[in-house]
Structure 1
Amino acid sequence: MSETDGGPAAPELADRLAEVFDLVGPLYRRAYRKVELDSPIEGLSVGVRAVLTMLREHGPMTVPQMGRAQALSRQFVQRMINDAAARGLVESVPNPAHKRSSLIRLTEQGRIAITAVADRERAVLGQAAGDLTEAEVAACIRVLSHLLHFLDHVEVD
Protein backbone atom coordinates (compact mmCIF):
# COMPACT_ATOMS: atom_id res chain seq x y z
CA MET A 1 0.00 0.00 0.00
CA SER A 2 1.12 3.53 -0.70
CA GLU A 3 0.30 6.76 1.08
CA THR A 4 -2.18 7.65 -1.66
CA ASP A 5 -4.33 4.57 -0.97
CA GLY A 6 -4.39 4.91 2.80
CA GLY A 7 -1.15 3.06 3.51
CA PRO A 8 1.62 4.27 5.80
CA ALA A 9 2.97 7.73 5.12
CA ALA A 10 6.61 8.40 4.43
CA PRO A 11 8.59 9.06 7.61
CA GLU A 12 9.04 12.69 6.58
CA LEU A 13 5.28 13.19 6.31
CA ALA A 14 4.77 11.50 9.67
CA ASP A 15 7.30 13.96 11.13
CA ARG A 16 5.39 16.88 9.58
CA LEU A 17 2.09 15.58 11.00
CA ALA A 18 3.78 15.36 14.41
CA GLU A 19 4.62 19.06 13.98
CA VAL A 20 0.90 19.72 13.43
CA PHE A 21 0.07 17.95 16.69
CA ASP A 22 2.82 19.88 18.46
CA LEU A 23 1.10 23.12 17.38
CA VAL A 24 -2.50 22.07 17.95
CA GLY A 25 -2.01 21.44 21.68
CA PRO A 26 -0.65 24.90 22.55
CA LEU A 27 -3.11 26.52 20.15
CA TYR A 28 -6.02 24.77 21.86
CA ARG A 29 -4.78 25.69 25.35
CA ARG A 30 -4.25 29.34 24.41
CA ALA A 31 -7.67 29.53 22.77
CA TYR A 32 -9.18 27.84 25.84
CA ARG A 33 -7.65 30.45 28.16
CA LYS A 34 -8.68 33.28 25.83
CA VAL A 35 -12.30 32.10 25.79
CA GLU A 36 -12.28 31.75 29.59
CA LEU A 37 -10.92 35.29 29.94
CA ASP A 38 -13.17 36.88 27.30
CA SER A 39 -16.43 35.12 28.12
CA PRO A 40 -17.20 36.48 31.60
CA ILE A 41 -19.52 38.98 29.92
CA GLU A 42 -21.77 36.05 29.00
CA GLY A 43 -20.69 33.93 31.99
CA LEU A 44 -19.63 31.02 29.79
CA SER A 45 -16.99 28.46 30.63
CA VAL A 46 -15.28 26.72 27.73
CA GLY A 47 -17.39 23.61 28.33
CA VAL A 48 -20.68 25.52 28.32
CA ARG A 49 -19.53 27.44 25.25
CA ALA A 50 -18.80 24.17 23.43
CA VAL A 51 -22.29 22.85 24.22
CA LEU A 52 -23.96 26.08 23.12
CA THR A 53 -21.94 26.13 19.90
CA MET A 54 -22.93 22.56 19.11
CA LEU A 55 -26.62 23.29 19.72
CA ARG A 56 -26.41 26.44 17.61
CA GLU A 57 -24.83 24.51 14.72
CA HIS A 58 -26.82 21.26 14.91
CA GLY A 59 -30.08 22.10 16.66
CA PRO A 60 -31.52 20.20 19.62
CA MET A 61 -29.54 17.14 20.70
CA THR A 62 -29.50 14.65 23.55
CA VAL A 63 -26.72 14.66 26.12
CA PRO A 64 -25.35 11.31 24.82
CA GLN A 65 -25.32 12.66 21.25
CA MET A 66 -23.32 15.70 22.38
CA GLY A 67 -20.89 13.52 24.31
CA ARG A 68 -20.26 11.29 21.30
CA ALA A 69 -19.88 14.25 18.94
CA GLN A 70 -17.22 15.84 21.15
CA ALA A 71 -15.60 12.64 22.45
CA LEU A 72 -16.53 13.67 26.00
CA SER A 73 -18.14 11.70 28.79
CA ARG A 74 -21.89 11.93 29.13
CA GLN A 75 -21.37 13.01 32.74
CA PHE A 76 -19.17 15.96 31.75
CA VAL A 77 -21.65 17.08 29.09
CA GLN A 78 -24.48 16.76 31.63
CA ARG A 79 -22.60 19.05 34.04
CA MET A 80 -22.16 21.63 31.26
CA ILE A 81 -25.86 21.35 30.39
CA ASN A 82 -26.78 21.79 34.06
CA ASP A 83 -24.60 24.93 34.25
CA ALA A 84 -26.14 26.30 31.05
CA ALA A 85 -29.68 25.48 32.23
CA ALA A 86 -29.06 27.22 35.56
CA ARG A 87 -28.21 30.36 33.57
CA GLY A 88 -31.29 30.02 31.37
CA LEU A 89 -29.20 29.31 28.25
CA VAL A 90 -30.66 25.88 27.41
CA GLU A 91 -33.82 23.95 28.16
CA SER A 92 -34.96 20.35 28.02
CA VAL A 93 -37.78 19.42 25.69
CA PRO A 94 -39.45 16.06 25.06
CA ASN A 95 -37.71 13.79 22.60
CA PRO A 96 -40.22 12.07 20.33
CA ALA A 97 -37.60 9.42 19.48
CA HIS A 98 -36.74 8.49 23.08
CA LYS A 99 -38.91 9.02 26.16
CA ARG A 100 -36.06 8.89 28.68
CA SER A 101 -33.49 11.03 26.85
CA SER A 102 -34.73 14.60 26.48
CA LEU A 103 -33.56 16.92 23.77
CA ILE A 104 -31.57 19.95 24.86
CA ARG A 105 -32.10 23.16 22.92
CA LEU A 106 -30.92 26.74 23.12
CA THR A 107 -33.14 29.35 24.68
CA GLU A 108 -33.26 32.80 23.11
CA GLN A 109 -30.91 33.98 25.89
CA GLY A 110 -28.52 31.12 25.02
CA ARG A 111 -28.62 32.00 21.33
CA ILE A 112 -27.82 35.65 22.12
CA ALA A 113 -24.93 34.66 24.43
CA ILE A 114 -23.25 32.22 22.02
CA THR A 115 -23.71 34.61 19.10
CA ALA A 116 -21.98 37.39 21.06
CA VAL A 117 -19.03 35.09 21.88
CA ALA A 118 -18.76 33.85 18.28
CA ASP A 119 -18.90 37.41 16.92
CA ARG A 120 -16.06 38.50 19.23
CA GLU A 121 -13.99 35.46 18.27
CA ARG A 122 -14.49 36.10 14.57
CA ALA A 123 -13.38 39.70 15.01
CA VAL A 124 -10.16 38.53 16.68
CA LEU A 125 -9.60 35.79 14.10
CA GLY A 126 -10.11 38.33 11.33
CA GLN A 127 -7.16 40.27 12.75
CA ALA A 128 -5.12 37.05 13.07
CA ALA A 129 -5.64 36.12 9.41
CA GLY A 130 -2.74 38.32 8.31
CA ASP A 131 -1.52 37.30 4.87
CA LEU A 132 -3.04 33.81 4.92
CA THR A 133 -4.90 32.82 1.79
CA GLU A 134 -8.19 31.00 1.44
CA ALA A 135 -6.28 28.06 -0.07
CA GLU A 136 -3.98 27.85 2.96
CA VAL A 137 -6.89 27.90 5.38
CA ALA A 138 -8.74 25.29 3.29
CA ALA A 139 -5.63 23.06 3.34
CA CYS A 140 -5.35 23.46 7.11
CA ILE A 141 -9.01 22.51 7.59
CA ARG A 142 -8.55 19.53 5.29
CA VAL A 143 -5.51 18.26 7.22
CA LEU A 144 -7.06 18.73 10.65
CA SER A 145 -10.35 17.16 9.53
CA HIS A 146 -8.45 14.20 8.08
CA LEU A 147 -6.52 13.69 11.32
CA LEU A 148 -9.68 13.95 13.42
CA HIS A 149 -11.48 11.42 11.22
CA PHE A 150 -8.47 9.09 11.30
CA LEU A 151 -8.21 9.23 15.09
CA ASP A 152 -11.94 8.56 15.45
CA HIS A 153 -11.67 5.41 13.33
CA VAL A 154 -8.20 3.94 13.87
CA GLU A 155 -7.42 1.04 16.16
CA VAL A 156 -3.98 1.48 17.64
CA ASP A 157 -2.00 -1.61 18.65
Structure 2
Amino acid sequence: MVDKLNPLPPEELGPRLAEVYAVVGPLYRRAARVVEQETPHTGLSVGVRAVLERLEMAGEPETVPQIARSLELSRQFVQRMVNESLERGFVELDANPAHRRSSLVRLTEPGQAAIRAVQASEHRTLGEVAGEITGPEVDTTLRVLRRMLAAVE
Protein backbone atom coordinates (compact mmCIF):
# COMPACT_ATOMS: atom_id res chain seq x y z
CA MET A 1 0.00 0.00 0.00
CA VAL A 2 1.30 3.47 -0.89
CA ASP A 3 1.84 5.80 2.05
CA LYS A 4 0.84 9.29 0.88
CA LEU A 5 1.84 11.00 4.11
CA ASN A 6 5.42 9.89 4.72
CA PRO A 7 8.31 10.79 2.41
CA LEU A 8 10.30 7.94 0.93
CA PRO A 9 13.65 7.23 2.60
CA PRO A 10 16.68 8.14 0.43
CA GLU A 11 17.44 4.52 -0.49
CA GLU A 12 13.94 4.22 -2.02
CA LEU A 13 13.59 7.80 -3.27
CA GLY A 14 16.75 7.73 -5.41
CA PRO A 15 15.71 4.78 -7.59
CA ARG A 16 12.14 6.08 -7.94
CA LEU A 17 13.30 9.53 -9.09
CA ALA A 18 15.73 7.84 -11.48
CA GLU A 19 12.64 6.25 -13.06
CA VAL A 20 11.22 9.76 -13.54
CA TYR A 21 14.42 10.93 -15.29
CA ALA A 22 14.27 7.86 -17.53
CA VAL A 23 10.75 8.83 -18.66
CA VAL A 24 11.12 12.62 -18.92
CA GLY A 25 13.86 12.65 -21.57
CA PRO A 26 12.12 10.40 -24.11
CA LEU A 27 8.78 12.08 -23.37
CA TYR A 28 10.21 15.52 -24.17
CA ARG A 29 11.92 14.33 -27.36
CA ARG A 30 8.85 12.47 -28.63
CA ALA A 31 6.51 15.37 -27.88
CA ALA A 32 8.88 17.79 -29.62
CA ARG A 33 9.04 15.49 -32.67
CA VAL A 34 5.26 15.17 -32.88
CA VAL A 35 4.81 18.93 -32.67
CA GLU A 36 7.51 19.54 -35.30
CA GLN A 37 5.78 17.08 -37.64
CA GLU A 38 2.38 18.65 -37.07
CA THR A 39 3.59 22.20 -37.71
CA PRO A 40 5.73 21.94 -40.84
CA HIS A 41 4.73 25.45 -41.87
CA THR A 42 6.83 26.88 -39.04
CA GLY A 43 9.75 24.50 -39.49
CA LEU A 44 11.16 25.51 -36.11
CA SER A 45 14.04 23.41 -34.88
CA VAL A 46 14.05 22.56 -31.21
CA GLY A 47 16.92 25.03 -30.71
CA VAL A 48 15.21 27.96 -32.41
CA ARG A 49 12.02 27.12 -30.57
CA ALA A 50 13.87 27.18 -27.24
CA VAL A 51 15.29 30.64 -27.96
CA LEU A 52 11.96 32.06 -29.10
CA GLU A 53 10.14 30.55 -26.14
CA ARG A 54 12.75 31.93 -23.74
CA LEU A 55 12.37 35.43 -25.18
CA GLU A 56 8.60 35.15 -24.95
CA MET A 57 8.79 34.01 -21.31
CA ALA A 58 11.26 36.75 -20.41
CA GLY A 59 8.95 39.37 -21.89
CA GLU A 60 11.90 41.59 -22.74
CA PRO A 61 15.02 41.44 -24.89
CA GLU A 62 17.97 39.44 -23.57
CA THR A 63 21.57 38.97 -24.62
CA VAL A 64 22.85 35.70 -26.06
CA PRO A 65 24.77 34.96 -22.81
CA GLN A 66 21.60 35.58 -20.76
CA ILE A 67 19.58 33.25 -22.98
CA ALA A 68 22.32 30.60 -22.85
CA ARG A 69 22.48 30.73 -19.05
CA SER A 70 18.73 30.48 -18.61
CA LEU A 71 18.47 27.54 -21.04
CA GLU A 72 21.65 25.91 -19.74
CA LEU A 73 23.03 25.72 -23.28
CA SER A 74 26.35 26.83 -24.69
CA ARG A 75 26.65 30.44 -25.80
CA GLN A 76 27.90 29.27 -29.19
CA PHE A 77 24.84 27.07 -29.78
CA VAL A 78 22.47 29.85 -28.72
CA GLN A 79 24.31 32.26 -31.03
CA ARG A 80 23.74 29.88 -33.96
CA MET A 81 20.04 29.64 -33.07
CA VAL A 82 19.80 33.43 -32.80
CA ASN A 83 21.49 33.78 -36.19
CA GLU A 84 19.00 31.34 -37.72
CA SER A 85 16.15 33.23 -36.06
CA LEU A 86 17.50 36.51 -37.43
CA GLU A 87 17.60 35.11 -40.97
CA ARG A 88 13.95 34.07 -40.64
CA GLY A 89 12.85 37.41 -39.18
CA PHE A 90 11.86 35.88 -35.83
CA VAL A 91 14.18 38.14 -33.82
CA GLU A 92 15.93 41.48 -34.16
CA LEU A 93 19.03 42.84 -32.48
CA ASP A 94 18.91 46.06 -30.47
CA ALA A 95 21.78 48.09 -29.10
CA ASN A 96 22.59 47.21 -25.51
CA PRO A 97 23.34 50.31 -23.42
CA ALA A 98 24.94 48.13 -20.75
CA HIS A 99 27.37 46.34 -23.09
CA ARG A 100 28.46 47.59 -26.49
CA ARG A 101 29.45 44.20 -27.92
CA SER A 102 26.53 42.13 -26.62
CA SER A 103 23.35 43.09 -28.44
CA LEU A 104 19.90 42.55 -27.03
CA VAL A 105 17.87 39.92 -28.86
CA ARG A 106 14.23 40.92 -29.26
CA LEU A 107 11.34 38.73 -30.41
CA THR A 108 9.55 40.15 -33.48
CA GLU A 109 5.86 39.80 -34.31
CA PRO A 110 6.60 36.98 -36.79
CA GLY A 111 8.66 35.30 -34.05
CA GLN A 112 5.79 35.63 -31.58
CA ALA A 113 3.37 34.21 -34.14
CA ALA A 114 5.70 31.27 -34.87
CA ILE A 115 6.22 30.32 -31.23
CA ARG A 116 2.52 30.71 -30.43
CA ALA A 117 1.61 28.45 -33.37
CA VAL A 118 3.98 25.76 -32.13
CA GLN A 119 2.70 26.09 -28.57
CA ALA A 120 -0.94 25.90 -29.72
CA SER A 121 -0.19 22.73 -31.67
CA GLU A 122 1.64 21.26 -28.70
CA HIS A 123 -1.24 22.12 -26.38
CA ARG A 124 -3.71 20.41 -28.74
CA THR A 125 -1.52 17.31 -28.96
CA LEU A 126 -0.91 17.11 -25.23
CA GLY A 127 -4.59 17.75 -24.55
CA GLU A 128 -5.29 14.38 -26.16
CA VAL A 129 -3.37 12.46 -23.50
CA ALA A 130 -5.59 9.65 -22.31
CA GLY A 131 -6.10 8.62 -18.71
CA GLU A 132 -8.27 11.32 -17.17
CA ILE A 133 -5.38 13.24 -15.62
CA THR A 134 -6.53 15.62 -12.91
CA GLY A 135 -5.36 19.12 -12.07
CA PRO A 136 -3.98 18.02 -8.69
CA GLU A 137 -2.00 15.24 -10.42
CA VAL A 138 -0.44 17.77 -12.77
CA ASP A 139 0.28 20.09 -9.81
CA THR A 140 2.01 17.25 -7.96
CA THR A 141 4.02 16.28 -11.04
CA LEU A 142 5.21 19.86 -11.51
CA ARG A 143 6.10 20.16 -7.83
CA VAL A 144 8.18 16.97 -7.94
CA LEU A 145 9.91 17.91 -11.22
CA ARG A 146 10.75 21.38 -9.94
CA ARG A 147 12.23 19.88 -6.76
CA MET A 148 14.27 17.48 -8.85
CA LEU A 149 15.51 20.34 -11.01
CA ALA A 150 16.46 22.39 -7.96
CA ALA A 151 18.30 19.43 -6.47
CA VAL A 152 20.61 19.06 -9.47
CA GLU A 153 21.41 22.77 -9.78
Equivalent residue number for residue 109 of structure 1: 110
Contact 1:52 1:114 in 2 (8 A): yes
Q: Provide the secondary structure at the position in 1 that maps to 2:152.
A: helix
TM-score in terms of structure 1 length: 0.86
Alpha-carbon distance change, 119 to 45 in structure 1, aligned in 2, over 3 angstroms: same
Equivalent residue number for residue 127 of structure 2: 126
1:19 positional shift: 0.8
In structure 1, what is the Cα distance between the partners aligned to 2:75 and 2:23? 28
Q: Provide the secondary structure at the position in 1 that maps to 2:122.
A: helix
In structure 1, what is the Cα distance between the partners aligned to 2:20 and 2:84? 33
In structure 1, what is the Cα distance between the partners aligned to 2:36 and 2:125? 15
In structure 2, what is the Cα distance between the partners aligned to 1:11 and 1:34? 36
- Amino acid of the residue matched to residue 146 of structure 2? S
**% identical aligned pairs:** 55
TM-score in terms of structure 2 length: 0.88
Equivalent residue number for residue 40 of structure 1: 40
1:129 positional shift: 5.9
1:40 positional shift: 2.1
For structure 2, the 5+ residue unaligned runs are 1-8
Contact 1:39 1:45 in 2 (8 A): no
1:55 positional shift: 0.6
In structure 2, what is the Cα distance between the partners aligned to 1:120 and 1:36? 9
**Normalized per residue, which structure has more helix?**
1
Alignment of 1:7-156 (within 5 A): 9-58=9-58, 59-128=60-129, 130-152=131-153
1:51 positional shift: 0.5
In structure 2, what is the Cα distance between the partners aligned to 1:71 and 1:147? 16
* Structure 1 stretch displaced more, 68-77 or 97-106: 97-106
- Root-mean-square deviation (CA, aligned residues, Å) is 1.6
Contact 2:63 2:104 in 1 (8 A): yes
In structure 2, what is the Cα distance between the partners aligned to 1:117 and 1:73? 24
Q: Provide the secondary structure at the position in 2 that maps to 1:91.
A: strand
1:38 positional shift: 2.7
- Aligned residue pairs total 145
Task: Pick 1 or 2: higher relative contact order, CA cutoff 8 A, min separation 6.
Answer: 2
In structure 1, what is the Cα distance between the partners aligned to 2:38 and 2:82? 20
